[in-house]
Amino acid sequence: MEIQDTLTLAKSSLEREGVKFALIGGFALAAHGVVRATQDIDLLVEGGKKELAKDLLTRAGFKLVFENPEVLHFSGKGQLDVLFANREATLDMLKRAKSINNFPVPVVSAEDLIGLKIQAYKNNPDREFQDKADIQSLLKQVSNLDFNLVKKYADMFNEWGFISDLRKRI
């Protein structure tokens, strides 16, 4: 199944039942003008609807291959990773998400994507090199970033020094 088909299937399954979601990860980077290779679709979904989302996606033909309280990984109809918005910061990301650059689904803001990238490499240091490169690319590509929001995320993980250094180099 093509990536676009996977995204369309996930979108229609979730939207049909009013489950809020937004594109994150590599394809969200592309929506913001940063192109890099990726093979899966990553979605942020409202956490209060985890069981409904799991049921809808399974009924749509996705095969659940991994589950924990924060994440679902699917295969079958395409590789799909679902992260759940349960905290105020991620729920706010869903509220701010919108369709941009002709993407057919809501996409988290570049600032929110930077916050997710910081969290990802802080939680898994093996991701640090790629996630920091993604952040640098976003800083170069997106001209009207809200650095108050970026700082809020960076401060959560004591990473404002890194972001400040990147800004100076760009």
| DSSP per-residue string spanning 96-119 | H-B--TT-SS-B--HHHHHHHHHH
What mean pLDDT value characterizes the chain?
95
The predicted-structure confidence for 38-63, as pLDDT tens digits, reads as follows 889 999 999 999 999 999 999 999 99
**Which residues have C-beta within 8 Å of that of residue 120, sequence separation ≥ 6?**
127, 131
pTM over 0.75: yes
Considering the domain architecture, whether residues 70 and 133 belong to the same structural domain is answered as: no
Q: Is 66 helix (H, G, I), strand (E, B) or coil?
A: strand
Q: Please, which pLDDT band fits residue 2 given cuts at 50, 70 and 90? A: confident
Considering the domain architecture, whether residues 115 and 162 belong to the same structural domain is answered as: yes
The predicted-structure confidence for 78-92, as pLDDT tens digits, reads as follows 899 999 999 999 999
CATH number, domain of 87, equals 3.30.460.40
How many folded domains does the chain comprise?
2
Integer Cα distance of 30 and 59 in angstroms: 28
* Domain end call among 91, 108, 125: 108
Structural domain including 130 reads 109-170
**Segment 4-22 mean pLDDT:** 94
